Homo-oligomer: A and B are copies of this chain.
Amino acid sequence: MPVGTQGTVKALLPEALKELDAQIILANTYHLYLRPGHELVRELGGLHRFMNWDRPILTDSGGFQVFSLGDLRRISEEGVDFQSHLDGSRHRLTPESSIAVQEALDADIIMAFDECIPYPANRDYVADSTARSSRWARRCKEARRSEDGAGLFGIVQGGMFPDLRAGCARDLIEIGFDGYALGGLSVGEEAGLMYDMMECTLPLLPADRPRYVMGVGTPENLVEGIARGVDMFDCVMPTRNARNGVLFTSFGKISIKQARYARDPEPIDPDCGCYVCNHYSRAYLRHLYQSGEILASVLNTHHNLHYYIQLMEEMRSAIEQDAFLDYKQEFYRKRQ
């Protein structure tokens, strides 16, 4: 899922996202709650209409951003009190209000409100936080209006402790959700540890519900996640990297600002069939980046999202053809 934090996938028109075959995007509840405000978005017909996007939208719960605020927030059983990063104004987010905000935004997939546990964290903290997130998950389920057809996903926490993850998964399954996410990954731990957490948790989740790993990740993370049974990801990596001139290719990442590309007539990736690779040279893209041109962000974002979406499509197709392991091998071979 491309990330559209403030009601826009940065630098791209909705039509470009469709051309890229994006099936769903993610929007951030925290940001939209603060600006322009969920009531304003509701008044204007919901987020789809507001941003001219008629495909599904998943909203996060706001928890991740709120918990990133550090000294600006305080957790209680009721919820989280925090100050806006924009103007310092005081707010409270609770499981109930998070659901209400996401409903006002008219999300198609609503995420339960949870605490994203930092890494490292000691076992006592993780156990307490995870238990509270499970209680919050139940309150989210109860707060959810049933009539609007949107899905509600629970989020498995438990830090890097397999038994706490397993316990949390059991709690969430008992409550019952339309899909299950793994939260609190890609927060600074080694990739191997993240894969371990996927391996011990994913098999516990219902096979007939989507499994979503939040905030992940690199192309390698996606391949390894898919290998372990993940269905969905979101990450700012393709879009944020694009704006910093870092481009994804079948042979690894390149930094378009490097002098070696100054006179390079080749496309970013000669094997890529995207609009950008069909029409622009590395030399032009470097020139745009060096010149601080807005079009650099537009074209780089387009290419990177094409890379990510194409990667997911290829993996789906490989699975359907029972050839995923071959695909994975080839994926790594190309980047050697």
- Seen from chain A, the residues whose Cβ lies within 8 Å of a Cβ on chain B are 6-8, 10-13, 35-36, 40, 43-45, 50-52, 262-263, 265, 279-281, 283-284, 286-288, 290-291, 293-295, 297-298
Cα distance A288–B295 in the bound complex, in angstroms: 17
B295 touches A10 (CB 8 A): yes
What's the nearest-Cβ distance from chain B to residue A257, in Å?
A: 13
Q: Output the nearest chain B residue to A15 by Cβ-Cβ distance.
A: B275
Interface contact A35-B298, CB-CB below 8 Å:
no
In-complex Cβ contact of A295 among B11, B36, B43, B284 (8 A): B11
Check A281–B13 contact: CB distance below 8 A.
Answer: no
B36–A283 CB distance below 8 A: yes
A256 to B282 CA separation, bound complex (whole angstroms): 36
A187 to chain B, nearest CB (A): 26
Report whether B44 and A262 are in contact in the complex, using a CB–CB cutoff of 8 Å: no
Report 14 cross-chain contacts, Cβ distance below 8 Å, ordered by A residue.
A6-B288, A6-B291, A7-B284, A7-B287, A7-B288, A11-B298, A35-B287, A35-B290, A36-B283, A36-B290, A40-B262, A44-B284, A52-B280, A52-B284
Given A36-B283, A44-B263, A287-B36, do A293 and B52 touch, yes or no (CB 8 Å)?
no
Give the residues in chain B near A263, CB-CB below 8 Å: 40, 43-44
Q: When the two chains form their complex, are residues B8 and A288 in contact, meaning their CB atoms are under 8 A apart?
A: yes
Question: Is the pair A50, B291 in contact by a Cβ cutoff of 8 Å?
Answer: no
- Within the complex, which residue of B12, B50, B281, B284 is in contact with A284, where a contact is CB–CB below 8 Å? B50
List B contacts of A7 (CB < 8 A): 284, 287-288
Q: A13-B295, A13-B298 are in contact. Are A281 and B35 (CB under 8 A)?
A: no
Residues of B close to A44: CB separation below 8 A:
263, 265, 281, 283-284
Closest to A39 in B: B263
A251 to chain B, nearest CB (A): 22
Give the distance to chain B from A91, nearest Cβ to Cβ, in Å.
Answer: 18
With a CB–CB cut-off of 8 A, which chain B residues contact A8?
288, 293-295
A48 to B2, CA, bound (A): 32
Bound Cα distance from A298 to B35, whole angstroms: 20
User: Once the chains bind, are A6 and B51 in contact (CB under 8 Å)?
Assistant: no
* CB within 8 Å for A291 and B51 given contacts A284-B7, A298-B13, A298-B298: no
Q: How far is the CB of A281 from chain B (nearest CB, A)?
A: 6
CA distance A263 to B265 in the complex (A): 47
Provide the bound-state CA to CA distance between A265 and B50, in Å: 9
A12 to chain B, nearest CB (A): 7
CB A235 to nearest CB in B, in angstroms, measures 19
B35 touches A291 (CB 8 A): yes
Residues of B with C-beta under 8 A to A284: 7, 44, 50-52
Instruction: Return the 10 tightest CB-CB contacts between A and B, nearest first.
Output: A11-B294, A36-B287, A8-B295, A52-B279, A6-B291, A8-B293, A50-B284, A294-B297, A44-B283, A44-B265
Complex interface: chain B residues within 8 A of A291 (CB): 6, 35
